[in-house]
Structure 1
Amino acid sequence: MKKFFLIPLFAALLSFAGAAFAQTNAGGVDASSPDVMIKTVTNQVLDTIRADKSIRSGDINRITEVVNKQILPYTDFRRTTQLAMGRAWRQATPEQQDQMVEQFKMLLIRTYAGALSQFRDQQVQFKPFRAAPTDTDVVVRSAVINNGQPVELDYRLYKTPQGWRVYDLNVAGAWLIQAYQQQFAQKINESGVSGLIQFLTERNQQLAAGKQPT
């Protein structure tokens, strides 16, 4: 089985993307424009990461607090989990769906918590945004300049009555949902939805105990 976790850079940038949305309310960012929203909160979050030592040190309690209270309202992580599970999502009970969302979320939080300390002086360059006024699913493209090297960082958003919501992220050509689809399917084929939930739960327990999953 392929390694179940994303590379540290991917994980760190995922946290970077999520943390950005924690600023949306405080900064009064207009969520009706996907590119403006991403650009504005990106500038804010770089300052936040540099100023918050607890985030940079990978404080899991602080990061979890930010995710639960401030990030999730501006993302659709349930949609992310549903797409990552594919057809198996419909096979899961409502309780299992809730468990999957929570365990998958915690997996990503615990995976990227330690990687946040890598952020220092990275800069972000945005590419021209191309979308029709009638589009309801768009991609905002950018690149993080790290030690002079650009790393692709794209956000996929869809339009809701409450504004735009991020549900997928691409780093260096690897989309989050696609990266997990095959791995989730393999685990479900082996032991069902309950087996996948158990697997994620055990991995989260290992990470909480400071152990590196194999």
Structure 2
Amino acid sequence: MRIAIQTLSTFAVFIAALLACSGVAANETGTKTAVAEIAPRDVVASATLGIINELNKLQPEQRTEEEVRRLVQTYIVPAIDQEKIAMGALGKYWRRADPEQRQAFIDRFRELQIRTYSGAFKAFNGEQFEFDEARFNDSGDKALVKGTLKQNNGNTIPVDFRLYRDKDSQEWRIYDAVIAGLGMVKTYREQLSERLQNISMNELLAELSAQDAN
């Protein structure tokens, strides 16, 4: 069983447009945070605009799988809290896993994300994306950045990014995305939970490793 292949295909199409957004690096205003920091919307923008600027320097034939993958690892991966998103995807099975299994899953799940984003760049076809101002929870340590994907046919698709502020570094990190009502972490958790009812964690890790090798 290949994990989350249908989900990956869906996210690849939507993320493609997201990663091509522009003009979204304005500073947040009216927030409840007093600490000097990169605002949540800017975290998303700096990652996406960085890779898009690099891609714009390349001719289509230069956008090889290896080059796109390198850019994803340079700009996109650091903006995501890999451990937190892995914890959310595994749910109760994270608590049951030992430290070695947890780290192995983080590594495999990171690779899954890299392949998703890399495929998204290749699928991009000039769609437009706009962000609203970030919304904060009462304590100011979580933020929601809402966006709208405008497709070439005139349709619009809502996209939400969820971020939290790390207590140690005070940096905002992405830990989930909800695209057209489809939550990435929730969707993976449902699929992985169903799979782990029938196989062990080590068997799941072996399946993910086999996917990485393909």
TM-score (norm 1): 0.76
Percent sequence identity over aligned pairs: 24
Residues 142 and 38 (structure 1 numbering): CA distance in 2 closer, same or farther, change over 3 Å?
A: same
Structure 2 distance, partners of 1:73, 1:140, is 18
Whether 1:159 and 2:160 are equivalent positions in the alignment is no
Contact kept, 8 Å, 1:8 with 1:112, in 2: the verdict is: no
Aligned residue in 1 for 2:142: 137
Residues 38-47 or 140-149, more deviating: 38-47
Aligned residue in 2 for 1:187: 195
Cα offsets for 1:107-147 (capped at 9, x unmatched): 23224433322224222122243325732111100012111
Contact kept, 8 Å, 2:83 with 2:106, in 1: the verdict is: yes
Structure 2 distance, partners of 1:15, 1:103, is 22
Aligned residue in 1 for 2:4: 4
Of residues 78, 101, 109, the one that matches 1:73 is: 78
Aligned residue in 2 for 1:212: none
Letter of the aligned partner of 1:136 in structure 2? D
Residues 73 and 16 (structure 1 numbering): CA distance in 2 closer, same or farther, change over 3 Å?
A: farther
Structure 2 distance, partners of 1:91, 1:18, is 35
Aligned residue in 2 for 1:211: none
Structure 2 distance, partners of 1:19, 1:122, is 8
Q: CA RMSD of the aligned region, Å?
A: 3.2
Contact kept, 8 Å, 2:143 with 2:164, in 1: the verdict is: yes
Structure 2 distance, partners of 1:68, 1:49, is 14
Of residues 126, 135, 153, the one that matches 2:131 is: 126
| Bigger helix fraction | 1
Structure 1 distance, partners of 2:125, 2:51, is 12
Structure 2 distance, partners of 1:50, 1:119, is 13
Residues 101 and 71 (structure 1 numbering): CA distance in 2 closer, same or farther, change over 3 Å?
A: same
Contact kept, 8 Å, 1:155 with 1:166, in 2: the verdict is: yes
Residues 67 and 57 (structure 1 numbering): CA distance in 2 closer, same or farther, change over 3 Å?
A: closer
Whether 1:113 and 2:114 are equivalent positions in the alignment is no
Residues 65-74 or 150-159, more deviating: 65-74
Structure 1 distance, partners of 2:45, 2:189, is 29
Whether 1:202 and 2:203 are equivalent positions in the alignment is no
Structure 1 distance, partners of 2:51, 2:70, is 16
Q: Any unmatched runs of 5+ in structure 2?
A: 26-35
Report how many aligned residue pairs link the two structures.
197
Contact kept, 8 Å, 2:89 with 2:186, in 1: the verdict is: yes
TM-score (norm 2): 0.76
Q: Any unmatched runs of 5+ in structure 1?
A: 25-29, 209-214
Residues 18 and 133 (structure 1 numbering): CA distance in 2 closer, same or farther, change over 3 Å?
A: farther
Structure 1 distance, partners of 2:62, 2:10, is 14
Cα offsets for 1:136-172 (capped at 9, x unmatched): 1111000121112212221110001321001111111
